[in-house]
Structure 1
């Protein structure tokens, strides 16, 4: 479907920029957005006449509506929406200020939901489209020091899995992308760091040290990730989740195996908690 229209958040760097370039190289049209659209001026040269830039702050409903209107005015439709805007955070749960956690959720979860809700009437009306949710392997696998970040991604995955079933009758697809470590400025100066509590060095020091040195050393290539996402968007037999990177595949697989082991180990206890011989139990078995 050359000529599709993409609306992408967070295009100033990382996956957003890589996806914008990949879509333009495929002959598509792109509305590239960022909180500071002046940082996107160079994208115009990658697809003359096929690029529009717009300011979009996912925490500001007015800019979301304006960006959607701009896309529809420029190109008449939206075919692929990519919720990519976000940033990292490191800190133990006790170290997190509640205001910090709420601010992170506003961007990583509520912002993505707001953008999704803004475009859904148009996707339903045209009878198709794809919503790409940029999650992380952290959407399934959490680790010390990344609790806030993983919580936001896990919440996004939960709402997106429900969304996928809700919009399928309208021809709208949802793709949850779960990258591992890619060279996307994750861990750089934009990474939020909670104030440290000395006692947590025993469990989070390695994570904090890794964050301080990871930027520019990650194994993942954002350009290859973008190509993989385009391939998944084009696939006639769509997947709901797409893991990207060897680390993502290995860690998610190990997590699923541990879930299987725990479920089997405690299955007898788990199954013993239903009401026995009651109408409630009968109804439960009949479902």
Structure 2
């Protein structure tokens, strides 16, 4: 039995992994800004601990990690899944919008990872899975700021992989392509309200395509969740895990 610590666990990939891990008999610390959404979805279970966590709050991350240890005694797998997108040309994005997406996608990963690592180092074991994106490989018009946050996650994951491997802790950055999640919904994607006409043929076209693509993406999110669950049993995991043929290509 493994003990998971999952951020952004109330929906998307995070919720699907919670469901599979619980069904397998693993213990799960599922975190979200509103932990009631987790208990509403999964109920009260002995192997589930729902904790409140805004990943941008370092003190709250430390408290959540300590609660996990107090309840289950260990954290075997950290899944840094919390994050959101920002759509718009780089010039269209405001400073506040840019700061917000960095606070969650980059500083949030740092806050939670730094809170969990003391416990993993003490155990000399653990797995860290950082959710990146096909956007962590390439920047695209309309998603430049979002992609830059995922480029940062890629670099952090590479460095952590090198630093932690000698301590028995494996780090992998997961790079999903286009999967049918709520990423393109308003709950997961902020769209800059500023529209500059000169970008109509680049970022502007991406705005229109994203609307049509929402919930019609080709990837099966259940399949991705199953792969992540099975991946935690792989010995000597790679530093990168591209998922779907679009990311591989």
State TM-score, norm by structure 2: 0.96
SS in 1 for 2:75: coil
Task: Tell me, yes or no, if the aligned pair for 1:232 and 1:239 is still in contact at 8 Å.
Answer: no
Residues in 2 aligned to 1:181 and 1:64: alpha-carbon distance in whole angstroms:
29
Q: Could you say which residue in structure 2 is the equivalent of 1:16?
A: 14
Provide structure 1 residue ranges, at least 5 long, that are not aligned to the other structure: 251-287
Give unpaired runs (5+ residues) of structure 2.
Answer: none
| 1:132-147 superposed matches below 5 A | 132-147=129-144
The structure with the larger Rg is 1
Q: Which structure exhibits the higher relative contact order, with contacts defined as CA atoms closer than 8 Å and separated by 6 or more residues?
A: 2
The 2-side partners of 1:31 and 1:197 are apart by 43
Q: How does 1:121-200 map to 2 (within 5 A)?
A: 121-190=118-187, 191-194=189-192, 195-200=194-199
Task: Give the TM-score normalised by structure 1.
Answer: 0.83
Q: Alignment length, in residue pairs?
A: 247
Which deviates further from its counterpart, 97-106 or 123-132?
97-106
After TM superposition, list the pairs within 5 Å mapping 1:81-160 onto structure 2. 81-160=78-157
Q: 1:220 is paired with a residue of what secondary structure?
A: coil
Shift, 1:232, TM fit = 1.9
SS of 2:175's equivalent? strand
Name the Cα RMSD after superposition.
1.2
Q: How does 1:1-287 map to 2 (within 5 A)?
A: 3-45=1-43, 48-190=45-187, 191-194=189-192, 195-250=194-249
Greater helix fraction, Structure 1 or Structure 2: 1
**What secondary structure is seen at the aligned counterpart in 2 of 1:165?**
helix
State how far apart, in whole Å, the 2-side matches of 1:162 and 1:65 are: 22
